[in-house]
Chains A and B, each alone.
Chain A
Amino acid sequence: MSDCLTLRFTVPADDFTRAGEASSSTKATLKQLGLPADIIRRVAIVMYEGEINMVIHANGGEITVEICPDQIVMVLKDTGPGIPDIQQAMQAGWSTASGAARDLGFGAGMGLPNMKKCADSLDIESTVGVGTTVTAVVRL
């Protein structure tokens, strides 16, 4: 039997009012498990930024969170438009977000750089027209 706990979420498309529910639920689970506050905070920031990105750019998607004794792995998978230039997307301030996203206080081009800063590792696989999978790891 695996020592890991797996959480799965479906992020609805274009529903800004529900954006963040998966992150909020994950944060509550991590708190229940008694993990250190700084770890919970880093996971929450990475996942929330990723979840917002899915709603803004990719018509939602699927998030899997694997909570293991030595690390927490978040896999955020969407079938959106893909990222043509990942290096450019990682630059602070670069954004292709819509006006609706900006009205909500996002789309400043800080999401991916902030995810990278908070995670111990961040891997982005993306194919234009197929989708994007972001894998973020926070080590315990």
Chain B
Amino acid sequence: MLIRDIQALLGAALLCGESRLDDEVTSGFGADLMSDVLAFTDSDTLLLTGLCNLQTIRTADMLDISHIVFVRGKCPDDAMLQLARERGICVLATHYTMFKSCGLLFSAGLRGGGRDE
């Protein structure tokens, strides 16, 4: 699924990473706990999270996650967006809840990216 389609489905604002709007992701992972993101996600997964601090961007960077959606109207600050830009990470923000965001994307064909075995 293209990032620009994800942006449209979630009515999301693009906060940085415009050049990545035509990137394609095939899976998503939703969590507010970065410990779980570190333990359970694969690379190239879309990260949906309501945790909004610098460690969210650092965690994504460590895992080569290049696309983040902040849910529930969370708004990253300038320091977060600056780090995201430096690391080439695309950041979107939606007012939808985590459940609704994941549900919309799953219904549209995006699959779970975490290791749940």
Complexed CA–CA distance, A16 and B53 (Å):
10
Assembled-state Cα–Cα distance A104/B80 (Å): 13
Interface string of B9-38 (1 = CB under 8 A from A): 000000000000000000000001111111
Given known contacts A17-B54, A104-B53, A105-B53, A48 and B59 CB-to-CB distance under 8 angstroms: yes
- The reply to whether B64 and A37 contact each other, CB–CB distance below 8 Å, is yes
Minimum CB–CB distance for B62 against chain A, Å:
4
Which chain A residues border B54 with CB–CB below 8 Å?
Answer: 16-17, 20
Could you tell me the distance between the alpha carbons of A132 and B2 in the complex, rounded to whole angstroms?
45
Per-position binary interface string of chain B over residues 89-111, scored 1 when its CB falls under 8 Å from any chain A CB and 0 otherwise: 00000000000000000000000
Q: Is B1 an interface residue (CB 8 A)?
A: no
Interface of chain A: mostly helix, strand, loop or mixed: helix
In contact, A105 and B58 (Cβ under 8 angstroms): no
Contacts A37-B64, A41-B63; is A24 near B38 (CB within 8 Å)?
no
* Cα separation A27 to B58 with both chains bound (whole Å): 11
Contact call B62/A110, Cβ cutoff below 8 A: no
Which residues on A are within 8 Å of B, measured CB to CB?
16-17, 19-20, 23-24, 27, 37, 41, 44-45, 48-49, 52, 104-111, 113-114, 117
Identify which of A16, A23, A37, A107 contacts B62 (C-beta below 8 A). Answer: A23
A110 touches B59 (CB 8 A): no
Residues of chain B within 8 A (CB-CB) of A23 are 58, 62
Whether, in the assembled complex, B55 has its beta carbon less than 8 Å from a beta carbon of chain A, the answer is: yes
Residues of B close to A104: CB separation below 8 A: 34, 51, 53, 55
- B55 with A19: CB separation less than 8 A: yes
For A106, the chain B residues whose CB sits under 8 A away are 33-35, 55
